[in-house]
Amino acid sequence: MFLFLIFIKSFWLQVLSGNYYFNLAESNRIKKEYLKAHRGIIYDCNGVPLVNNLFGFSLFLVQSELPKNEEQKNEVLSKVSSITQIPVEEFLEKLQNSHPQYLQPILIRTGISYDQAILLKINNLPGVRLEMDSWRLYLQGESFSHLLGYIGKISSEEYDNLKSDYLFDDNIGKAGLEKWYEKYLRGIHGQKRIEVDALGREKKIISEQPAVAGANLILSIDSKLQQKIYEILKEKIPHGKGSVIISNPQDGSILALVDYPSYDNNLFTGGIKSSDYNKLLNDERKPLFTRSILGEYPSGSTIKPIIAAAALQEKIVSKNTTINSTGGIKVGQWFFPDWKAGGHGITNVTKAIAWSVNTYFYYVGGGYGNFKGLGLDNLVKYFKLFGLGEVTGIDLPGEHKGFIPTAQWKKETKGNNWYIGDTYHLSIGQGDLLVTPLQVNNYTSAIANGGNLYSPHLVSSIVKADGTTENISPKLIRKIPVNSENLKIVKEGMRETVIYGSARSLNSLPVLVAGKTGTAQWNKNKPNHAWFTGFAPYDQPSLAITVLVEEGGEGSSIAVPIAKEIISWWFDNNKK
C-alpha cells in the first residue's frame, strides 16, 4: 500500500501536475525586464520643442511596506529627509492621502541626485524605493500649460482599467494634449527575457523585444504668438481673467489658444504637493480652469451676426430693410432698451451689426407689431447650424457644449412659459444662452470663410517612430445653409463695425479687419463680460480672433485693445 501511494503521488506530480511545476520552475529561472519606451515630443508649427524628456532617479514610498510602528516609521522618514533634503511634512502629506495597505508606490520626487541615490541604496530603508525613471520638462512656461496639460504617475483606478498596456509605475497623460494623444505619445514598452541562476544572477538573454518610442506631435500652434498673447493679457489684465483664441478660418487649425491666468504644469509632472495644489484650487481666479473650452458665458452681441444671417436667409429682411431705432421697444408694461439713449435712428442690417443696435435685433428676432421676426424655433435652428449647443470636436479633453434655451426647457426647469421677452433677450445674446469662447471663434471662422464650419484642431501631423507621418486633414462639420450673398452682407456689417462702429479703433491697423464687439450681462452685482470676435484680412481671411475678458466691462474698452495689439504684432511679424 505504501509503495502504491508513492506511485500515485509520483504520477500526480510528474504527469497530472507536470506542466504546472514546469512553468513554475521556468518562471523562477526566467526573469522579465521591461524596457520603457521614450514618450514622444511635442513641437510647434515651426519645429520648436515644447516639452522634453528627462531621465534619472525618482523617489517612491510604499505605504504598506513602511514600519507599522509610528516611531520607527518616523525614523525612516527622517533618514530619507536628511539624505534628500525633502521635508518630512511633504512625505506625510502624500502618505495621508493613501490607505495604509496601499500597495502602489507613491511618487515623492523626481530628479533625485546620483549622490542621494547612492546613500538611499546603501541604507536600504523599508518602504523606500528608488527607481530609474523619466519625466516631462515643459519648456515654454505658463502660456502653454492649459494646452499641453501634464503627465503623472498612473493611478490605481487607471491601472486597473489599463493594466494590460501599462506598468504600475508608468506615466500617463492627465490633462490637455498629453491626455488626448496618450495612445500616440506613450509608445510601446519592450521586454527582455533573461535566464538567471539559483541566486538570481543573470546568465544570458533569451529574447529581447525593443521598445518603440512614442510618436511626436507637430502642432498648428505658433509658440511665439502663444507667448505674445499671454504677455499681452498679463499686461492688459494683470489681475483679471480671460481667453484668446486664434484660428485659420480656411481649415480650422488653431494658431493660438491662451487662457489667463495659468499655472506651471511642471509642478504636476513630478507629483504636486498638496499645499501647492490647494493654493491653485483656492485661487479665486481659477488658474486651472481652461476657459477657452470649459467656460460657458452669455454671448452678448457677438451672437448678432448669426441672427443677421438667419434673418437674411429666411427673408425676414433684405440688405435694404430698415427699422427706426428710437431707444427701445415697449410691450405692455415691459420696456426693452437700446444701449444708446434715444436710439440709432434709421437702421439697416449692416448698421445694426456695426453699432450693435438692439432694437433692430428685437424686431428680426422676435418680431414687433406687424413685423414678423424669426421666432424662437428659427433662432434655435440657426444657433445649432452655426455650432452652438454642441462640442466643436477640438482635440482636447472635457470640452463643454454651452447651452441653447428652449420653451420646453424653461417649462420643465423653471415652471414658467416662454414669453416674447425671452425671445428678445435671446436675440441680443442675453438670457440663458451660453457659449464657449471656442464656439464663438468657430462660427466667426465659418462666417469669414463663406459658411464652412470646421472642427478645430491643434495637431497638424503625427510623426511615428518608424518615420512615417500621419497628416491631420481638416474635418468639415457642415456647410452652413446660408447663401454666399447673405454671408457677404453679414461680413460687410462686421467690416463696418471697424470702419465706424464699436471697434473703430482697429481701423488704424495696416490690415483690414472685420469684427463684432460684445458686452454680456451675467450678474447684476458684477461687471459685464467683454467680448471681441473678428477676422483679417477682410478680403482673404487667414486669421480669426476671439477675445473674452471675464468681468472686463465693455467689449470696445478692453477686448478690442487686446485684439488690436495681437493683430498688429501678428501681421508685423508675418509679412510676406
- Separation between Cα atoms, residue 485 and residue 491, nearest integer Å: 10
φ/ψ of residue 276, rounded to 5: -70, -40
> CB-side exposure of 494: number of CA atoms within 13 Å?
36
Give the SS3 label for residue 156.
helix
Beta-bridged to residue 347, according to DSSP, are: 323
Q: Residue holding cell 426693452?
A: 336
Contacts of 212 (CB under 8 A, 6+ apart): 37, 187, 188, 190, 465
What is the grid cell recorded at 62? 510604499
Contacts of 92 (CB under 8 A, 6+ apart): 77
The CB density around residue 527, as the number of other CB atoms within 10 Å, is 15
> CB-side exposure of 453: number of CA atoms within 13 Å?
23
Q: Residue holding cell 442690417?
A: 349
- Separation between Cα atoms, residue 488 and residue 113, nearest integer Å: 63
> Is 17 marked active-site?
no
Strand ranges, E, within 117-253: 128-138, 150-153, 171-175, 190-196, 202-209, 216-219, 241-247
Encode 57-78 in three state secondary structure: EEEEECHHHCCCCHHHHHHHHH
Closest-CA residue to 549 (of 563, 529, 565, 525): 529
Catalytic residue among 143, 247, 301, 427: 301
Encode 371-429 in three state secondary structure: ECCCHHHHHHHHHHHCCCCCCCCCCCCCCCCCECCCHHHHHHHHCCCCCHHHHHHHHCC
Catalytic residues, by residue number, are: 301
